[in-house]
Amino acid sequence: MRPLAAPEVKRFEAEVDRVAADGTFAGHACVFGVEDLARDVVEPGAFRATLARRGVGGVKMLWHHDPAEPIGRWLEIREDARGLFVRGRILADVARGREALALMRDGILDGLSIGFKTIKGRRDARTGLRRLAEIDLWEISLVTFPMQPAARVASVEAARGVGSDLSAAALAATIRRAAALLDTKR
């Protein structure tokens, strides 16, 4: 029997404006059409089949991709015009959940990362980018180091559909972080 292939991971920046008292937060775990630091671009519709097959309960919330450390549950996962919208709740009843909540509230833990298997992807010969057209999503983790600065956790109000667009301040912060990442490449 062959062991399961290790999942690929993509890390996305997550700025936490506020985490609700019950540990609920929301944002985008992936932004469509944005090149990440690994030169991958996730295309709209890439998650459609896996979400239909697995449902929200089939995608786990983990601490740093460790399957032995679930820290909460996803309450909502769906594609929207921007990317993969997620709303979840971190459980304070588990040690890592308490740790994650404290770090998120203090702005230290600020990354999201998807664990997945590529089903359909192609390398663009002209640009060298890998375009991911279909992804089998296994988990979404809270992590320290992000891969894609454009994806963010938003405030609780955004989780309820109020003010779900990026504010000017949030956009400016994203641009500053992206510029800082580009400066480190030189």
95 or 150, which is more confident: 95
State how far the Cα of 47 lies from the Cα of 79, in Å rounded to an integer.
7
Question: Which pLDDT tens digit goes with each residue over 3-47?
Answer: 455 667 665 555 444 678 899 988 888 999 999 888 999 999 999
Residue 26: predicted pLDDT: 86
Half-sphere exposure of 111 (CA within 13 A, CB side): 18
18: its two tokens? 């506020």
Q: In whole numbers, what is the pLDDT of the chain averaged over residues?
A: 80
94: its two tokens? 């588990």
Question: Which pLDDT tens digit goes with each residue over 101-139?
Answer: 998 888 788 788 899 999 999 999 999 999 999 999 999
pLDDT value at 55 more than 70: yes
Of the options 1.20.81, 2.60.120, 3.20.16, 2.60.40, the CATH number for the domain spanning 24-183: 3.20.16
